[in-house]
Structure 1
Amino acid sequence: MTDDKTNTGGLDRKLISLDEDYEVRDWAEKFGVTEKALRDAVRRVGNGVEAVQRELGGR
């Protein structure tokens, strides 16, 4: 399911979408990692923000 582009309140706080380049870019910046590192983490643990944050060392 795609994001609602009319809802511009910032990052979706619970899920990371690898289908949206801007989300990958924004979440990678937030966590201080490369886009590849973010994509790899999501593939390992799923797209839940908390799980990805734990996987990336709590950054």
Structure 2
Amino acid sequence: MADDKSKQDKRDRDRVAGDEDYEVRYFANSNGISVDQARELIRKHGNDRKTLEREAKSLKG
């Protein structure tokens, strides 16, 4: 079955949905931090993916 091209996804890929457990887990795993650390970063810095990735890097290094 082919994708319906008339239905476009309105989600913002530049944001991490902090209220979605699967997305927080994915972000944490892909950045080598714990889920609790990821939630703390989202709480502290908002949900901008670039900012969160930069802050996650600083936690590891």
TM (normalized to structure 2)?
0.68
Q: Work out the number of aligned pairs and report it.
A: 49
In 2, Cα distance between equivalents of 1:57 and 1:28: 11
Match of 2:52 in 1: 52
Structure with the larger helix share: 2
Instruction: Give CA deviations for 1:1-59 in whole Å, capped at 9, x if unaligned.
Output: xxxxxx6xxxx631111111110111111111100000111111110000001111267
Report percent identity of matched pairs: 35
Structure with the greater alpha carbon radius of gyration: 2
Which residue does 2:34 correspond to in 1? 34
- Cα RMSD for the two superposed structures: 1.9
Unaligned runs of 5+ in 2: 1-8
Give the equivalent residue in structure 2 for 1:22.
22
In the TM superposition, structure 1's runs of 4+ consecutive aligned residues that sit over 4 Å from their partners are: none
